Amino acid sequence: MEERFVQKAVQLTPEESTGKLKVEKLWELMQNHPYQNEMSKVFDIDKIKDEYINIDFVDTVYKRVKHFSDKYKCSLIRAQIKDINVFEEDIIIDGKKEKEIVFHFDEYVVIDEVHQNLKTVARYDSKNTYLDEYVMTKYANNLFKKGLSDLARQNIQYFKDLATRSDNYNKHRSYRLVESDGITYLRGITSIDKYYEYGVDFTFVTSMLLFHDFMKKNNGVEYKITSAHINESKLEVIVAEKFKKAAGEFGKVSSAVKVATNDLGQGSLNFLNIINVGKTNKDGFYLFPKQNPFESNRVNISHTTKPENVATILKSMDNVLNTSDNFIKELMEVKTIKNPDELRVKIQAKINSPRSPYSTIKELSDIFKRRIDNDITNFSKLLEMCNKAEELQIPFDLKDKLRYIISDIILYGNVR
């Protein structure tokens, strides 16, 4: 997949950030959003529009979100199977000719207007989602791989012909598009009326307003964005309390919230309360506690959640926007830290496993290869290793998974 669709880290450079953003400017990202009016009422935007959100790097991440909002035009069309042709074609993208899977819409609907003749290039899982309908994904992909695209097209055409003759096969779906540099891509295929897309812009705006409101209600709490990874369909931002507190052998810790959205997956909006571990002058690394059955530390809002229900959920986020005091007692009771070298060995084993996606990343393996004395007094050395692992510039998906591996082993002694 070309670089334009890769979720990348936002560079958080102190010299390039004022650490504040006017609510009115932030709200510009919601202009023309389908749920603009509902969210305006939730946050009382008319009343707070002149206020400033004071979160380190909020302006930096805002610029990046706005870049994707301006450069990648997302839209939605509706179409029937009988009006869609799927085939392989040579397409020039970024100056390179590549074989791509094309969805050509003979006829489609935008809101309530009928249009004709639209060519789109499949991205993400859109091709497989389409083929899954006929339980032929593996077969068709194998044909494309072997250069037998004509045979794959014949099989797909068979089902299109069925759809033309019978309504039982003529499924009506929503097709989610994004336009970039003159090419229209097909991002995903969903149901007509049971799928609500909120988007990267919606997620960033609502989360920053939630933190802003929480700070106003809790004097002394200040936030800093410590990590941000974005593309046109996915966002992950980690927002941590600025002031860390002592937590025994874990050193200094603070509460943090991982805010994420994935327009292409099951979870539209996700808020997870986590722990930021590290020295006072460093962002550190992150621990992900398991869910407490008595007090949830997460909110997951699916794509099937209606806007009015999202509004209700956003108003009750107290358990997720927690302070570090709630975590310190839990960290003090962690038993695994008495044997830091055993934990190091477990992390190293997961990294170096033959089937591990990290096995070829030598810099990561090198971090955990040096033995440390298996005594609690050396736990700080393991924490420093975890710090260095977090600082590595590796693909986002790998970094996110690595965070969970390290977290599970340190907190619970194994990977969940």
What does the pLDDT look like over 15-66, one tens digit per residue?
999 999 999 999 999 998 888 988 999 999 999 999 999 999 999 999 999 9
Residue 275 β-bridge partners:
255, 287
Lowest mean pLDDT among 254-258, 323-327, 328-332: 323-327
- Residue 279, pLDDT > 70, answer no
Distances (CA, A) of 204 to 149, 227, 261, 328, 413: 41, 13, 9, 28, 34
- Residue 318, pLDDT > 80, answer no
Mean pLDDT of the chain: 89
Report, at the CATH architecture level, how domain 73-190 is classified.
Beta Barrel (2.40)
Q: Which residue has the tokens 């530390």?
A: 297
What is the Cα Rg of the chain in Å?
A: 24
Q: What is the pLDDT of residue 292?
A: 65
- Residue 281, pLDDT > 60, answer no
- Residue 332, pLDDT > 90, answer no
Q: 61 and 200 in contact (C-beta within 8 Å)?
A: no
- The pLDDT of 256-279, averaged and rounded, is 82
- The pLDDT of 181-201, averaged and rounded, is 87
Q: What is the pLDDT of residue 266?
A: 57
Angle between helices 307-314 and 36-43 in degrees, nearest 10: 20
Q: What is the pLDDT of residue 282?
A: 66
Domain boundaries, the chain: 20-53+197-331, 73-190, 334-412
Q: What is the pLDDT of residue 303?
A: 82
Q: Which residues contact 200 (CB under 8 A, 6 or more apart)?
A: 65, 68, 69, 230, 231, 232, 233, 234, 235, 261, 263
- The pLDDT of 70-85, averaged and rounded, is 93
- The pLDDT of 239-259, averaged and rounded, is 91
* Predicted confidence (pLDDT) per residue in 374-397, tens digit: 888 889 999 999 999 999 989 888
User: Confidence class of residue 243 from pLDDT cuts 50, 70 and 90?
Assistant: confident
Lowest mean pLDDT among 41-55, 184-198, 355-369: 184-198
* Predicted confidence (pLDDT) per residue in 282-310, tens digit: 678 999 988 765 567 788 888 888 878 88
- Residue 79, pLDDT > 90, answer yes
* Predicted confidence (pLDDT) per residue in 120-177, tens digit: 999 988 999 999 988 889 999 999 999 999 999 999 999 999 999 998 889 899 999 9
According to DSSP, the β-strands at 113-122 and 183-190 are: parallel
Q: What is the pLDDT of residue 280?
A: 54
